[in-house]
A = this chain, B = another copy of it.
C-alpha cells in the first residue's frame, strides 16, 4: 500500500547481521569459485564447458541417448537459448545431432552420436575425480548429506524444475 514511502520508494532493507555475514561470505565465495574450477578442469582436459558436459552427460543416460531440447535444457539447468547455442557448438564438433520429432514438429530432439558417447566416456573419469578432490574429499559423508538437503531447500524456493543428472557407474 506504500503510504509514506521514501522519495526513492525503498524501505530500509533487512541488512545481514554479523552471524549471517559470517556464513554468507564464504558461501557466496564458494558459489563463485567452485563452478569455475570445475569448468577450468573440463576446458583444459576435454575442451568442454561444464554446461556442455552436463548436456552430453544427460543425453548419455537418456533412453536412446536422445531427449527433446526443452527436456534437456531443464536437465542441464539452463535456458532454452543457452542450450540451443551450446548444442550448436557440440553439433559442429560431431558429438550431438539434431533431428525433428516425427509426431510433433514443434519438438527438436538432440541425440548423442557415437563419437559423443566416446567423448563422455573418456571425459567423465577425470571430471569425477575433480569433483571428489574439490568437494567430496573435503567433507564427511554426513556433511555431504547435509549439504544436499540444504541445497534442495534452496532450490525449492528458486522454483527449480527438475533434478539434474550425473554419470553413474556404468556397466562394462
List residues of chain A with CB under 8 Å of any chain B CB.
Answer: 8, 10, 12-16, 19-35, 37, 50-51, 77-78, 122, 124-126, 128-129, 131-139, 141, 143-158, 160, 163-169
Instruction: Using A12-B125, A25-B148, A33-B158 as known contacts, list a sample of 12 further A-B pairs with CB atoms less than 8 Å apart, ordered by residue number in A.
Output: A13-B126, A19-B145, A21-B166, A22-B145, A23-B148, A26-B163, A28-B166, A29-B155, A30-B158, A32-B78, A138-B154, A147-B150
List chain B residues, Cβ under 8 A from A50.
32
* Chain A binding surface SS class: helix
A75–chain B nearest beta-carbon distance, Å? 10
Contact A154 B34 (CB under 8 A): yes
Q: Is B21 in contact with A168, judged by CB distance below 8 angstroms?
A: yes
Assess the A37–B163 pair: CB atoms within 8 A.
Answer: no
**12 chain-A/chain-B pairs, Cβ below 8 angstroms:** A16-B169, A19-B144, A20-B144, A21-B166, A23-B147, A25-B164, A25-B165, A27-B147, A30-B155, A30-B158, A32-B35, A147-B147
